[in-house]
Structure 1
Amino acid sequence: MKILITNDDGIFAPGVEALADLLSHFGEVVIVCPDTEKSAYSHKITLRQPLKLKKIDFAPNAEAYAVNGSPADCVKLAMEVLLKEKPDIVFSGINIGPNVGRDMYYSGTIAAAQEAMLYQVPSVSVSLETFKTSKIKFSIVKQLLYNVVEVILQNKIAKNVMLNVNLPYTSKELCKGVCVVPMDLSISRYNFVALNDPQGQDYYWLKDSYQDLKVNEGTDYHLLKDGYITVSPIDLKNTQKRKIDQISRWFNKINYIQEEN
């Protein structure tokens, strides 16, 4: 099995090293990551500057490259330039900090996995529910993730679907289980706060309110905080035939007038 790994925390993030070590037990691993942190880059691609693939001495069990671009750039370059054939699956992560709810639209981690979907390659984004990078024991994280990866690889991810996986920072023994849930888009995690510069002018900074959110039971936020692994399928299919037919009828009058003329 050929596995492509990427992330948005950068090539030297400890999460990508942990993920590469884990996935090397399942197949041949290639890593293509941004050369610096690109968090919250969403699905940005680079149009107006050249990109470079730089080989990195990463680990004996993985071939690794750094790219001076976005997470989506990394996957696109890997698919179109670096790899002779498509990988069997793409993993993006392990991201430091969860990706829940509206993060689906902002996260570079998720966007990289979505880019793989555009190439009809199964993909998984993986995030960890902690922000204390220096205190993370990745041996615990890998034990928690191993069985999840094993189940995913034993089954076939549906076409045009990716899986967004969030891990609680807890031991395998204390984890309460795995819940497959939609991402709760009703909650706004990032909110602007106003501050004053030395001249007394207002400026605005986005504050992450994740730790203070009051969330509904059964949501990805709630279950993750409660000690469950959450798995959220994300569908690439953005349009539905029924909606296309419905909205087409809105314009019937315009089309009729044009045909008359």
Structure 2
Amino acid sequence: MEGKEDKHLKIMITNDDGIFEPGVEALADVLSHFGEVVIVCPDTEKSAYSHKITLGQPLKLKKIDFAPTAEAYAVNGSPADCVKLAMEVLLKEKPDIVFTGINLGPNVGRDMYYSGTIAAAQEAMLYQVPSVAVSLDTFKKENIKFGIVKQMLYRVVEVILQNKIAKNVMLNVNLPYTSKELCKGVAVVPMDLTISRYHYTALNDPQGQDFYWLKDNYQNLKVNEGTDYQLLKEGYITVSPIDLKHTQKRKIDQISRWFTNFNYVQEEN
């Protein structure tokens, strides 16, 4: 890959699989062509941590010497902790953009509410820093050829950095596990929240007591046409913009009217 390196661009990387997962180094290799990279990741796997932050116990930053293309630090906390700690303590100035990943396994549909990868990108949004979550549609860690993944990701990153992400928006990117030649293109789609990917399975322990194990049914789901689920499986890169806004002015006005009479009675009393 020929780089278009600009050392004035400050890029931060985090993830939820842990700092020693190969997806982090692969992401750093790609992003180092575009700017100066710093890595701040959990010291162990923190998948499905959502937007948890650590309360009631101290966090530690430890410098790690494993990525030749970037400074790297491990944190004994969540993905959101990593971003928050980097923004408030570690970095002298905020990065220009935050990337999270490369996550092992896709983040589609309702994963928006569970994923530590996405939550870390959302934490960056809270600091008015553009962010991109990157996931790969495979679970077979030992067989991943990151060379073909990096070639495809490079082209996506190049387009993203040539444009401007709004400060209250993050991009959730899912890569099919295929070569850039076989990739069918990029589909910008919403995340399909109608599909329930995870279900509890009941089992019995030796004493006959029920316990429940959360099973991922991703491989066997019947999916809707034109959704992030379907297009990713068909070989498209999916990009889903996620807005930071959680309240809407129209809904505030509407629900305020519900309590008009209540407030009137309170004033009379």
Same-fold call, TM cutoff 0.5: yes
Displacement of 1:58: 1.9
2:133 maps to what in 1?
125
Q: When the two structures are superposed, what TM-score results if normalisation uses the length of structure 2?
A: 0.96
Q: How many residues align?
A: 261
Q: Of residues 228, 239, 257 in structure 1, which corresponds to 2:236?
A: 228
1:247 maps to what in 2?
255
Displacement of 1:48: 1.1
Say which SS state the counterpart of residue 99 (structure 2) adopts. Answer: strand
2:85 maps to what in 1?
77
Say which SS state the counterpart of residue 66 (structure 2) adopts. Answer: strand
Say which SS state the counterpart of residue 40 (structure 1) adopts. Answer: coil
1:216 aligns with 2:224: yes
Displacement of 1:60: 2.6
1:48 aligns with 2:17: no
Displacement of 1:171: 0.2
1:102 maps to what in 2?
110
Identical-residue share of aligned pairs (%):
88
- C-alpha deviations, 1:48-85, integer Å up to 9, x for none? 11000000002232000000000000000000000010
Q: Of residues 50, 66, 74 in structure 2, which corresponds to 1:66?
A: 74
The one-letter code sitting in structure 1 at the alignment partner of 2:59 is: L
Say which SS state the counterpart of residue 109 (structure 2) adopts. Answer: coil
1:181 aligns with 2:183: no
The one-letter code sitting in structure 2 at the alignment partner of 1:111 is: A
Say which SS state the counterpart of residue 172 (structure 1) adopts. Answer: coil
The one-letter code sitting in structure 2 at the alignment partner of 1:222 is: Q
The one-letter code sitting in structure 2 at the alignment partner of 1:75 is: V
2:94 maps to what in 1?
86
- C-alpha deviations, 1:114-161, integer Å up to 9, x for none? 000000000000000000000000000000111110010010001200
Displacement of 1:185: 0.3
Say which SS state the counterpart of residue 253 (structure 1) adopts. Answer: helix
**Any gaps of 5 or more consecutive residues in structure 2?**
1-8
- C-alpha deviations, 1:5-50, integer Å up to 9, x for none? 0000000000000000110000000000000000000000000110
Q: Of residues 152, 160, 168 in structure 1, which corresponds to 2:168?
A: 160
**Any gaps of 5 or more consecutive residues in structure 1?**
none
Distance in 2, matches of 1:61 and 1:126, equals 19
Q: When the two structures are superposed, what TM-score results if normalisation uses the length of structure 1?
A: 0.99
Displacement of 1:260: 1.3
